[in-house]
Amino acid sequence: MPASPVDRLFSLDGQAALVTGGSRGIGLAIARTLGAAGARVAIVARRTEWLGPAEASLRSAGIACAAFQADVADPAQVERTVAAAQAAVGDLSILVNAAGRSWGAPAETMPPERWHEVMNANATGTFLMCQAVGRGMLARRYGRILNIASVAGLAGSPPEILDAAGYAASKGAIIALTRDLAVKWAPAGVTVNALAPGFIPTRMSEVAIQRAGQALLERIPCGRLGSPEDLVGAALCLVAPSAGYITGQVLAVDGGMSAA
């Protein structure tokens, strides 16, 4: 039977994807969705303890998957991992940068070494992965890159909601990088977009969410926190054939928080 219009828009059959931060939380949810849509998936994470279970859960769902331990802020590790991922799942047509770190502290007392850790993991890591995977996409004249930013990169936050200047700055840098690469790489058929999640309970965000409490919920028009599952539909749309004319965009998935 010929493919349906929905399949032509959203099927990832025959494609290969790499997802950083893919061992848990947002990254794992997106990896699972890409695999369910037909992609072969490589997941990357800095810590090994979650990689094995994540790989096993994806394979148990019938998804062709390979897992790699790497620090995305290390250029040599990035190059080796991208080469290994391509050998395992094929030429990469999709890249999702979901790896990240945070450090909560008032800006006036934040240790500079923590600032550098956050900026390197989030902004530098995203750039290095885009660079390493993007070369192949440019050569093949097709690619979809999705960077996971944050509403913290769109506007400032009161300290009682979020006090993490390094995190906010790193996510703002990811947004700027997304827009710049989108303009540079669009002529070669490579789209670059970003999601800006609101407050999604994950291991990284749980302390900040607990600290903000009811004050945070009152700032969200939808009246609830998000979940990784709230992001996966938008993520699939932006990496599928459906997004061929969408590039340089930052989509907030935040329950209306950034519009309030």
How far is the CA of 69 from the CAs of 43, 99, 233, in angstroms?
A: 9, 12, 27
Beta-sheet strand order (sheet of 40-45): 65-69, 40-45, 16-20, 92-97, 143-148, 190-197, 250-253
Is 167 catalytic? The answer is: yes
> How far apart, in whole angstroms, are the C-alpha atoms of residue 218 and residue 223?
7
Per the DSSP assignment, residues forming a β-bridge with 145 are 95, 192
Structure tokens at 128: 């290095």
> CA 234 to CA 132: how far, in whole Å?
24
50, 68, 127, 167: the catalytic one is: 167
Token look-up 């859960």 returns: 57
Which residues are tagged catalytic?
167
